Amino acid sequence: MGWINDFLRAHNRETVFVSIKQENDDNQDFGRLVEEAFKEGGLTRFDEILPTLGEARGKAVLFSRFHKNQDSQFPNGMGIRPTTWPDNNEGFEWDCYGTPFRTQDVYDTGDIGTKTNILIRHIESTTEPRGNGLGNNHPFTLSFATAAKFPQSPPQWMASGSGSGMGVSKVLGNLTSLFAGGGGGGDGSGGNSGPQGGVNARLVYWLLQRAAEGKRPRATIMLDFYRETGGGDAGVSELIAALNYINTNE
């Protein structure tokens, strides 16, 4: 937690979304160790609400994918706690303290085109404005851009594409080809994957298309290797941040 606290102190208008998942249910000390680590520094939100951006600024928001094993643990809450999490699912929804929480977490694929299309289908609806507020008409969308199929398609290959060399600027010169074909797996069977880039480059292309229409997604997008669109210039994270300034008066 030290580096998270240091970051938040230096950037007090930012927030860090911290998802903790317990892989081994036999470890009875897991909850206690997480609580002790996140209490340090006093910059973590434990209250069980979906905070607004203003409430979350300067804080780490805990996203708990584990259970406490003692009633005395987490007296101030465990942050955001999913009520369901189907494995490798294209889209599911659960109630987050009165707000629909839409989630996409398809991770078991080695096909760049398939993963990109699943991601875009999930966040497409968020490009339409709904006004400010919380509740049933203002769902929160969390969509993972990450995936892998070992050994042929490791996470970095899925994110950046093998040998694609495509930063954001180069994506602009390849607009017509990014979604041609399926862009198959890292074993070379897809044929179209390399020059078109990985998931990050294809997401950049889609985001630029929407920006040209005056649209932007209202979603949290989880990225692997976020500085990589396959090249060395500005990554997809910088573009997503910039899109926050499109249609700010809706």
Q: How many domains does the chain have?
A: 2
Please tell me whether residues 71 and 138 are part of one structural domain.
no
Averaged pLDDT, 234-250: 80
Please tell me whether residues 73 and 91 are part of one structural domain.
no
* The pairing of beta strand 60-65 with beta strand 16-21: parallel
Where does a domain end: 59, 81, 103? 81
Please tell me whether residues 7 and 122 are part of one structural domain.
no
Least confident of 20-24, 43-47, 188-192: 188-192
The one-letter amino acid at 103: T
Q: Find the domain containing 92 and state its range.
A: 83-250
Please tell me whether residues 164 and 97 are part of one structural domain.
yes
pTM: 0.82
For residue 152, pLDDT beyond 70: yes
List pLDDT tens digits, range 196-232: 789 999 999 999 999 999 999 999 999 988 877 755 4
List pLDDT tens digits, range 153-163: 999 999 988 64
Please tell me whether residues 72 and 174 are part of one structural domain.
no
- Output the CA angle 11-15-19, nearest 5 degrees: 135
Instruction: Quote the tokens at residue 24.
Output: 């081994």
